[in-house]
Amino acid sequence: MAGELQRIAELGKQLRVDSIRCTTAAGSGHPTSSMSAADLMAVLLVKYLKYDWDHPHNPNNDRLVFSKGHASPLLYAMYKAAGVITDEELLSLRKFGSRLEGHPKPLQSAGDHGTPRGLPWVDVATGSLGQGLPIGVGMAFSGKYVDKLPFDVWVLLGDSELAEGSNWEAFDKAGHYKLNNVIAILDMNRLGQRGPTDLGWDAPVYAARARAFGWHAIEINGHDIAAIDAAYKEALAQAEKPTCIVAKTVKGSGVSLVANKEGWHGKALSPDQAEEAIKELGGERHIAVDVEQPRPLPKATPPPVQPLKLPSYEIGTEEATRRAFGDALVAVGANRPDVVVLDGEVSNSTFTEDFGKAYPNRFFEMFIAEQQLVGAALGLSVLGKIAFAATFAAFLTRAFDQIRMAAVSGGSLRLCGSHAGVSIGEDGPSQMALEDLAMMRSIHGSTVLYPCDANQTAHLVNAMADLPGISYLRTTRAKTPVIYDPGEAFPIGGSMVVRHSDADQVAIIAAGITLHESLRAFEQLRSEGIRARVIDAYTVKPIDRESLHEAARVTGGRLVVVEDHWSEGGLGDAVLDAFVGAMEKVPTVIKLAVRSMPTSGTPAELLSAAGIDAEHIAQAVRECL
């Protein structure tokens, strides 16, 4: 046993040395943040991590998430010790074209330079702090409740990032769901970027906070190999509680020049300093680790696949698109056993509660914790689940960083935001999503959908299940008329020209609630002899350029866009973007949108006050002509 512990201690020194070597070669990086956690990761790699490096998507693999993603040199040094990267590649850290980026990122499809990017053993991109543990909670949901597999989720946390509220959302939910398959390793090295953290080395306070959320907490010296070993054993023995190991460590451990010294965060050692530091650590080593294979247990037998039978609604009736979203989830869930749904404690308004009743082991209530909502959805997604997450659209703004980082990860998330726009009525502006289209359009590779009726919604929900990347469905609070046949097709990237003729003088472009206002305006204008084309732009991104260009051609370039959203970044700007770089003449585009802060009122009053109801649309058309 003593010989094994000594070998692990030597591996810890090797991980420090390699962290110094690669950051000095790069001229940048975070060697000291890597050195503090080296012993913790050495014990994990040799004795506890169960992982098949040749098959990173093996469902029985343990998951390792570096929430403190700036410690990527340590992670890459571990990969070298495991034999999956070479020393030459290790020294390519942070260089253009290298897989070893400044912060870890999963393997993704070929990018602009024609080669795949990222690493197959990284599940999620980290570096924006406070995200690893929420994602790990989602992974643990998959293992404990959906697939019933024996893997564990190891999350390396930095002490600075525990100032992030998202971590405490994760502590709360992991405790609530008794996720004994989550082990959080807190690298309590006392020093943040600009100096000491708020708690420093006060391990009892960290441990007390974890226990308050229902966790088992263990306080150790993070450089004592035997203590680390014992803590991991104790963590794996827990039957109903997640474990937080509070490990007191020294930033820059092992090198007197930087150990516990301020001013060394994110700073590489010079070549001369690195040479002396490596000599102090005993020189380079070449220890190879044969990581234990995962336990070969089958996942739970999925329920039988049912034929897809989307809900259908009769033309002429009225139904809320949020209601259709919930109905469609139940239908898609019956057809796809890998569909999971999460909600932010509004499931009786988003109607995800129906999915929860039908498939309780695939529904996770995140309560009012939107960052955890999106983080857990990503964790489920990277383990192969088709994850939908829903809340009021206004509150998804709280999780914008999680959504942004999910795109960096190349993850696939399906988000639904209900209660959008001034049309929600009396609740007032705090509940009105007026920024969501702009927010979601700005996400790299995103798809943004805004249905106007229940049948359209059901088809789009089903289509979202197959969409890669981040997709967003905006739903409406009020019941709206059903205008489409249940058998109608709604391809992603398309639109519907719901009123048209060869003699159209102007085109009205709308989506969701304003599509119905536009149809009312159409009737007013027709009675005056004005011919208007009405386009339902249900795909806000990618916008249907072809239909818009055709409308501009037919109408002489007269377009009126109307949206229940701020004038910046929404449907109007999507329409304008469709003409950027066009060879033909840029059309005249009138944007009707919300431009002043709403108040409480009836939906009709608020639509009118915002200038986006039928009367204002008709007047804009007249002025356009």
Strands (E) in 41-146, as ranges, are: 63-66
Residue 469 has pLDDT above 70, yes or no: yes
Give, in degrees to the nearest 5, the angle at Cα 485 between 483 and 489. Answer: 110
**Do residue 469 and residue 325 come from a single domain?**
yes
DSSP count for the chain of H helices, then E strands: 22, 19
Residue 109 has pLDDT above 80, yes or no: no
Average pLDDT (568-590) is 90
Residue 21 has pLDDT above 60, yes or no: yes
Nearest by Cα to 360 from 343, 381, 379: 343
The answer to whether residue 602 sits within a structural domain is: yes
Catalytic residue, candidates 161, 219, 319, 370: 370
Per the document, the length of the chain is: 625
The answer to whether residue 114 sits within a structural domain is: no
Q: Pick the residue with more confidence: 240 or 108?
A: 240
Residue 582 has pLDDT above 80, yes or no: no
CATH number, domain with residue 179: 3.40.50.970
CATH number, domain with residue 604: 3.40.50.920
Q: Where are the alpha helices (DSSP H) in 397-532?
A: 400-408, 436-441, 454-464, 513-527
Per the CB < 8 A criterion, the answer to whether 14 and 48 are in contact is: no
**Do residue 364 and residue 253 come from a single domain?**
no
The sign of the CA dihedral 45, 50, 52, 58 is negative
The rounded distance, in Å, linking the Cα atoms of 135 and 382 is 9
Which of the listed residues 481, 511, 539 is the one where a domain comes to its end?
481
**Do residue 455 and residue 581 come from a single domain?**
no
Tell me how many domains the chain contains.
3
Q: Both tokens of residue 189?
A: 């090295």
Which of the listed residues 251, 280, 309 is the one where a domain comes to its end?
280
Q: Pick the residue with more confidence: 519 or 299?
A: 519
3-state secondary structure of 263: coil
pLDDT at 240: 96
Per the CB < 8 A criterion, the answer to whether 254 and 223 are in contact is: no
Q: Average pLDDT over the chain, rounded to whole?
A: 96
3-state secondary structure of 50: strand
The answer to whether residue 301 sits within a structural domain is: no
Average pLDDT (45-67) is 97
* Residue labelled with tokens 């998804």: 396
3-state secondary structure of 350: helix
The answer to whether residue 149 sits within a structural domain is: yes
**Do residue 473 and residue 335 come from a single domain?**
yes
DSSP output for 537-578: --EEES--HHHHHHHHHHHTSEEEEEEEEESSSSHHHHHHHT
Long-range contacts (CB closer than 8 Å, 24 or more residues apart) made by 432-435: 432/394, 432/598, 433/392, 433/393, 433/394, 433/396, 433/397, 433/474, 433/565, 434/394, 434/564, 434/565, 434/566, 434/594, 434/598, 435/397, 435/565, 435/566, 435/569
Residues contacting residue 81 through CB under 8 Å, at least 6 positions apart: 11, 14, 15, 45, 287, 288, 289
- Beta-bridge partners for 161: none
The answer to whether residue 296 sits within a structural domain is: no
Nearest by Cα to 398 from 597, 594, 158, 166: 166
Nearest by Cα to 423 from 413, 415, 434: 434
DSSP output for 362-415: GEEE--S-HHHHHHHHHHHHHTT-EEEEEEEGGGGGGGHHHHHHHHHTT--EEE
Domain carrying residue 459: 318-481
Average pLDDT (131-149) is 97
**Do residue 243 and residue 355 come from a single domain?**
no
Average pLDDT (589-613) is 97
- Beta-bridge partners for 194: none
Residue 127 has pLDDT above 80, yes or no: yes
The answer to whether residue 312 sits within a structural domain is: no
**Do residue 324 and residue 451 come from a single domain?**
yes
Per the CB < 8 A criterion, the answer to whether 213 and 175 are in contact is: yes
Give, in degrees to the nearest 5, the angle at Cα 127 between 192 and 204. Answer: 45
Q: Where are the alpha helices (DSSP H) in 109-243?
A: 132-141, 165-176, 203-212, 225-236
Percent of the chain whose predicted confidence (pLDDT) is above 70: 98
pLDDT at 586: 75
Average pLDDT (284-294) is 96
Average pLDDT (67-77) is 98
Average pLDDT (115-130) is 92
Residues contacting residue 581 through CB under 8 Å, at least 6 positions apart: none
**Do residue 537 and residue 565 come from a single domain?**
yes
Left, alpha or beta for 441 (phi > 0: left; psi -120 to 50: alpha)? alpha
**Do residue 454 and residue 544 come from a single domain?**
no
For the stretch 359-409, pLDDT in tens is: 999 999 999 999 999 999 999 999 999 999 999 999 999 999 999 999 999
pLDDT at 435: 98
**Do residue 130 and residue 251 come from a single domain?**
yes
pLDDT band at 117 (very low <50, low <70, confident <90, very high): confident
Tell me phi and psi for residue 62, to 5 degrees.
-60, 155
R_g over Cα of the chain: 27
The rounded distance, in Å, linking the Cα atoms of 181 and 63 is 10
For the stretch 470-494, pLDDT in tens is: 999 999 999 999 999 999 999 999 9
The answer to whether residue 288 sits within a structural domain is: no
pLDDT at 297: 83
Average pLDDT (290-296) is 94
**Do residue 455 and residue 510 come from a single domain?**
no
**Do residue 97 and residue 244 come from a single domain?**
yes
For the stretch 483-524, pLDDT in tens is: 999 999 999 999 999 999 999 999 999 999 999 999 999 999
Residue 301 DSSP one-character state: P
Percent of the chain whose predicted confidence (pLDDT) is above 90: 94
The rounded distance, in Å, linking the Cα atoms of 115 and 26 is 21
Note if 89 is an active site residue. Answer: no
In this prediction the pTM is 0.96
Which of the listed residues 481, 506, 536 is the one where a domain comes to its end?
481
Q: Both tokens of residue 4?
A: 């094994």
**Do residue 477 and residue 507 come from a single domain?**
no
The answer to whether residue 353 sits within a structural domain is: yes
From the CB of residue 513, how many other CB atoms can be counted at a distance below 10 Å? 28
